[in-house]
A = this chain, B = another copy of it.
């Protein structure tokens, strides 16, 4: 039994005329006759009575017709949901994002949701390591993070935009009046930084080392929001990319001079995993936003 035969059968049952049904189905009458016969043989029962030059559906045919129609409808529904998925009328988008880039997500999520309200979005915060592991098992569709050498060639990355590291201070802080700050001067400021292991912290640590600078780190935190809350008290400063402080107008960013500490925000995909349309559209929206 094949869907083809069910289609033939249904049309034949509708018009009760093999010749006409065959025309409708764009096949020859002989083919239709054969296929119906084949279906009848498989079911072990006649679906039509051949009375004279007419056909009439049998009780069995009528009973079977319901199920044939249903089966065909199911395949149509299945096709439709795939179309919906392609047109972003359904589905789920699973985003992985590191803490440092979480701030830039908000705007895109808002506009994406407005355009495609039927798409469900889940956001997974985590360290790069955690997220790449999730990406590996396709738990998330892509990872937004700062660029790092791909440890595994099952991943491919592309750069979204550059974002410089800057000193983040509260306006009440004494250095808040400065237009810029030299990297050497960072040593004299009490800093609150992301905990070691955080991507940005490791990058910073590396940059300090290369410039023989030993900053005075007073607080380490594994949560960027808490970190920014501490900065808001005015007791500490921190160093983050500009992108990380997006949407926090109460805080001030002061460019750091004497060192090039530009990070590249990037998106990472699994090499082999199908890139669902929702993911492609979403990342295009991120890239088209100004940073």
Contact = CB atoms under 8 A, between A and B. Distances in A.
Top 7 nearest A-B pairs (CB, nearest first) are A67-B78, A71-B74, A51-B272, A70-B74, A46-B274, A58-B274, A71-B71
Interface of A: 1-4, 6, 43-46, 49-52, 56, 58-60, 63-64, 66-68, 70-72, 74-75, 77-79, 81-82, 85-86, 90-92, 138, 154, 270-274, 276
Specify how many copies of this chain sit in the oligomer.
2
23 contacts: A1-B3, A2-B2, A44-B86, A45-B85, A45-B274, A49-B138, A49-B274, A50-B272, A51-B154, A52-B154, A52-B272, A56-B273, A58-B276, A59-B91, A60-B82, A60-B274, A60-B276, A64-B81, A68-B78, A71-B72, A71-B74, A71-B75, A71-B78
Nearest to A93: B59
A16 to B, nearest CB: 12
A161 to B, nearest CB: 28
Nearest to A79: B43
